Amino acid sequence: MTKLPSPVLALAAMAAATPAFAASGPFFSLHNTNFIVLLAFIVFLAVLVYFKVPAMVAGMLDKRAAGISAELAEARALREEAQTILASYERKQK
C-alpha cells in the first residue's frame, strides 16, 4: 500500500468538505452548527490537555509495557528452567 503525502490528504479532505463551505451564512457565527461543533471540539481538547490526560494515558501505556516485559522475562526464565529439568530427566533415563 502506498502512503499518500499529507498535502494530498488535506486537499482530499477539503474537497470532501466542499458542501460545508457552500452553506449559507458566515462560518464564524453562532448560528452555524459546524462552527459550534468546532468550538466544542477545541474546548474538549483543551480540557483533556488541562487535566493532563495524554500524560496519564502515556503513563498507563508505559506501565503496561513494563508489565508485559516482566512477564516475558519470567516466561523465558521458566522455559529455560523447564528445559534444564527436561535435559536432566533425559540423562537419568538413559
Structure confidence by residue, pLDDT tens digits, 19-73 = 656 556 788 888 889 999 999 999 999 999 999 999 999 999 999 999 999 999 9
Q: Give this prediction's pTM.
A: 0.56
Q: Where do we find the cell 500500500? A: 1
> How many domains does the chain fold into?
2
The reply to whether 45 and 1 lie within a common domain is yes
- CB of 20 within 8 A of CB of 34? yes
Given this model, what pLDDT does residue 53 score? 97
Domain, as residue range, for 72: 52-94
The reply to whether 7 and 39 lie within a common domain is yes
Could you give the C-alpha distances from 62 to 51, 56, 66, 74, in angstroms and in order?
Answer: 19, 10, 6, 18
- CB of 25 within 8 A of CB of 32? yes
- Confidence band (pLDDT; 50, 70, 90) for 92? very high
Given this model, what pLDDT does residue 46 score? 98
The reply to whether 18 and 43 lie within a common domain is yes
| Integer-rounded Cα radius of gyration of the chain | 28
